Amino acid sequence: MNSIELQLREQLKTTENDILRIRLLNELAYEMRTFNADESILLAQQALELADRLDYTHESARTKANLSHFYMLNSDLESAKSFSDESLKVLQELNDKEGMAKIYLTIGNIHHRQGDFHTSLQNFQKSMVMYEELGELGGLASALKNLALVYYRFGDTKTAEEYLNRQLEISRQIGDLNSESNALTYLARNGLEQGQVSEAMEKICQSIEIKKQTDDQRGLALARNILGRVYLQSNRLKEAEEVLRESLEDAIRLKDKYGTIVNLTDLSKVQNELQQYDSALKLAARAEKLAVEINARESLIKIYYAKYVSYNATCDFKKALEMYSNYHKAESDVMSVETTGKIRSLEATYRSQLAEKEAEVYRLKNVELAAKNREIKEEKRKSEELLLNILPAEIAEELKEKGRTDARDFDMVSILFTDFKEFTQTSETLSAKELVEEINICFEAFDAICEKYGIEKIKTIGDSYMAAGGLPAPTGDSVKNTLLSGLEMSAFMIERKQIRETAGQVPFEMRTGIHTGPVVAGIVGIKKFQYDIWGDTVNTASRMETHGDVDKVNISQSTYELIKDDPSFRFESRGKIQAKGKGEVEMYFVELKIDQ
Cα–Cα distance for residue pair 51/59, rounded to 1 Å: 6
Q: Are 287 and 249 in contact (CB under 8 A)?
A: no
pLDDT for position 551? 93
The DSSP line for 213-242 is: HHT-HHHHHHHHHHHHHHHHHTT-HHHHHH
User: Between 221 and 526, where is the model more confident?
Assistant: 221
Per-residue confidence (pLDDT) for residue 19, from 0 to 100: 79
Q: What is the mean pLDDT of residues 525-536?
A: 65
Distance of alpha carbon 393 from alpha carbon 127, whole angstroms: 49
- Region of poorest pLDDT, from 9-23, 153-167, 169-183: 9-23
15-24, 114-123, 372-381, 535-544 — which is least confidently predicted? 372-381
DSSP assignment string, 96-140? -HHHHHHHHHHHHHHHHHTT-HHHHHHHHHHHHHHHHHHT-HHHH
Peptide bond connecting 392 to the previous residue in cis, omega within 30 degrees of 0:
no
With bands split at pLDDT 50, 70 and 90, how would you rate the model's confidence at 593? confident
What is the helix (H) or strand (E) element at residue 550, kind and residue range?
none
pLDDT of residue 337: 43
Q: ∠ at Cα 183 (255, 331), nearest 5°?
A: 65
Whether 400 has a pLDDT exceeding 70, the answer reads: no
Q: What pLDDT does 414 receive?
A: 94
Q: Report the half-sphere exposure of 377 (CA within 13 A, side-chain side).
A: 6
The model's pLDDT over 69-122, given as tens digits with 9 standing for 90+, comes to 988 888 888 999 999 999 999 999 989 999 999 999 999 999 888 878 788 888
Name which of 226, 218, 134, 224 is nearest 178 in CA terms: 218
Q: Is 251 within 8 Å of 221 (Cβ atoms)?
A: yes
Q: How far apart are CA 238 and CA 244, in angstroms?
A: 10
Residues 168-205: tens digit of each pLDDT: 999 999 999 989 999 999 999 999 888 899 999 999 99
Q: What is the per-residue DSSP string for 364-412?
A: HHHTHHHHHHHHHHHHHHHHHHHHHHHS-HHHHHHHHHHSS---EEEEE
Rounded to the nearest 5 degrees, what angle is found at the Cα of 142, between the Cα atoms of 140 and 146? 115
Q: What is the mean pLDDT of residues 303-317?
A: 90
pLDDT for 17 equals: 78
Omega before 472 within 30 of 0, i.e. cis = yes
Q: How far is CA 367 from CA 358, 376, 378, 379, 457, in A?
A: 15, 14, 17, 18, 43
Strands 583-592 and 553-556: antiparallel
pLDDT of residue 531: 66
Question: What band does 338 get if pLDDT is binned at 50, 70 and 90?
Answer: very low
- Range in 22-36, 98-112, 352-366, 414-428 the model is least confident about: 352-366
Q: Please give the Cα distance from 388 to 78 (Å, whole number).
A: 58
**Rounded Cα–Cα distance for residues 29 and 50 (Å):** 15
Question: In this predicted structure, what is the pLDDT of residue 342?
Answer: 55
> Across all residues in the chain, what is the average pLDDT?
84
Name the helix (H) or strand (E) containing 335.
none
3-class state of residue 536 by DSSP: helix
pLDDT at 428: 83
CA distances from 163 to 121, 134, 540 (A): 13, 19, 72
pLDDT by residue (tens digit) across 47-58? 899 889 888 888
Average pLDDT over residues 132-139: 90
Residue 299 banded pLDDT, cuts 50, 70, 90 = confident
pLDDT at 215 over 50: yes
Question: Model confidence over 551-583: pLDDT tens digits?
Answer: 999 999 999 999 999 999 999 999 999 888 888
pTM of the prediction?
0.54
Confidence of residue 4 (pLDDT cuts 50, 70, 90): confident
Whether pLDDT at 40 is above 60: yes
